[in-house]
Every structure is written in C-alpha cells, then in structure tokens.
Amino acid sequence: MRKSPQARLLQHYRAHARDLPWRLAPGSNEAPDPYRVWLSEVMLQQTTVATVTPRFAAFLARWPTVEDMAAAPVENILSQWAGLGYYARARNLHACAVEVAARGGFPDTEAQLRQLPGIGDYTAAAVAAIAFGRDAVVVDTNVERVVARCFAIRRPIKDARPEIRQRAAFFYERQPAGEMAQALMDLGATICRPKAPDCAVCPLGPDCAAYATGDPASIPPKPPRKTRPERHGTAYVIEQDDHLFLTRRPDKGVLGGMAALPGSDWADGSAPPSNAPTIRHVFTHFALTLRIESRAQPPSGTEGWWHERSAIADAGLPTLYTKALAAFDAEAESAEQRLPLLP
C-alpha cells in the first residue's frame, strides 16, 4: 500500500530535517523550550534563517531566559536587534517577555498565546504546536507556497489565503502538528523553493497538482509589482573629540526607538540634487534617499548622547545609519586623498 502524502512528508523530514539552533532533532526525547521557539519565530518573520542564526545565538547568550529579557531595559533589546529590520518586532519582543515573566511562563494554547504582545495568528499557532504539542494549523510563507502548488491554486497568495489555510488542514489532520509544521517549512525552504523547485526529490511529487502541470514554478502566480513611493531627508554627522552625537528615533513609526543620527524629517518625493554623500535605503513601503552632512553642533533642542566613535558598532545603529556613516567616511577618505601634496 502506498503511503499517504502526510506519512511520506514526515518520513522525509525525519531523514533530512535542517539542523537549526532553535529546533530539537526529530525523535528527540527533550521537551521543547517555549522561549527558544517563540524567540526564533519572532526573529524569523520576514528575515532569513542565515541572518537569524548568529543573532539568535547572541540573544540567548545575553538573555538565556525570558525572565532575563524581561528584566533588561527595552533600549538594550533594540540595540541588540539592530540590523534585523522591522524594529516594531523588538519592542513587542520585550513587551511580550515582560508579560510572560509576570505570568510565570508562556501560556500553552493558541488562543492564549494570541493575546500576548506581538503574537499574531501564525506565531501563536507555531508556538502552540512546536513548543506545546497542541493541534494547530501552522501556515507561514513556505507552507503557503507548498499548499498552493499541491492543490494548484492559481491565484496570488494574498488573494488565496483563506483557501490555502483550509487546504493546509489536510496535512495536519491526525498528525503531530509541531513536527508537520516543521516538515512543511523545511520542504518549502529547501525543495519547494520559489524558483527552480527540486520536484524530482520532493516526497509530495506524486500528489502535487502543480508538478503535474509541467510548470510548478508558475504556481502561485506573482501579483503585479507596485511602484514604491520615494522619500528623502538629511542625516547629520556631528563629531567632537572622537565622539559621535547620536539621538533616538520616536517610539512610534519607522525605526521606532532605535539609535540614530540626528537629522531632518523625511519628506515625500524624490531627493533634490546634492553634492553631499547620499545613500538610498529601501523599506517595506517606501524608498528613502538620505543626504549626509557634517555639522559642528547638534540641532537646537535635539536630545541625545555622545558615543565613542571607535565603539560605534556597539551603539545599536540600524542598517540605514550604518550605511550613512560608511558613505560619509568613504567620502571623507576620498576627499583627503584628493588633497594636493605640499611641497
């Protein structure tokens, strides 16, 4: 008798599971650590495994338990998060840790987890299933693609999510939800990739409707790309005695609460021409052109602090401002090399 698709998928997962620092190996007798599961799921939202892996280790080294994270100032969490993007996640991470520590631990049901700060439907389902063995239908980006292909759903993902979730329940029916979730995620990440899926080794190949079409990569179709709005602004590099003046972004909005170079508000539209060094940084909903200028003093009324220039890597600057500093330093070095030699 031929094995069911679910059985073949779990068999494949048990033989080929990715070795990830937040995951127990298939068949392990250890109990999953809800803190590690939750932390990894939050960090992995819209961020690659390769990027998250070293950062996950750094977080655990600094805050081994959820109680340790709850006791830390939120500014420390933001600083450690620098470079991971989507910075509201860091604020929610701390708020969630505080609430979990106050409760004495993570709740173990999907509904209760969903009530915690920063935990949406997907994360609640993933933590409930993986950390606590609860029945849940866990559907992330990789799972969406696998399901869309298995059932040949020929609509963009964003338009087909209700159907995809309904279809995904097929895989979880009478199966260990945590293991099935990780099996589907691994399949989407390593075999059922967005481009060039490796259908020849896929355990779901015999039952995949997209594979049967001969063009599985065309499913799901991609929606038309929207034009990204442009914004522009100025950042100031202010230096005194080998120290750099830094400020903090407002709590609400883009890069909320993060360390930053002082500067102007960001205006809509394309940047005007400038001889100053500039960078272009793409956010989710807009692209920013930032001009970098030198100043002798902080703008009037700007609150901030002086940070040692040689230790700027410890300041927790997000990628936008590390790029800005790098562009400023490169321009300064180039200008110095252009100076004529004195006789």
Positions marked catalytic = 41
Query: What are the phi and psi torsion angles at 240 (to 5°)?
Result: -150, 125
Distance of CA 168 to the CA centre of its chain: 23
Residues 174 and 235: beta-carbon distance below 8 Å: no
DSSP 40-80: HHHHTTTS-HHHHHHHHHHHHHH--SHHHHHHS-HHHHHHH
Cα separation values, 186 from 141, 196, 282, Å:
11, 16, 28
Q: Extract the tokens encoding 72.
A: 């830390």
- What are the start-end ranges of the H helices in the chain? 5-16, 34-43, 49-62, 66-71, 74-81, 88-103, 110-113, 121-132, 141-150, 157-172, 177-190, 209-213, 319-338
Q: Is the dihedral of CA 125, 131, 132, 135 positive or negative?
A: positive
- How far lies 298's CA from each of 185, 232, 245, 290, in Å? 48, 20, 7, 18
**Alpha carbon 10 to chain centroid, angstroms:** 27
Sequence-separated (6 or more) residues with CB below 8 Å from residue 166: none
Three-state DSSP state, 263: strand
C-alpha torsion sign, points 248, 253, 255, 257:
positive
Centre a 10 Å sphere on the Cβ of residue 191 and count the other Cβ atoms it contains.
Answer: 19
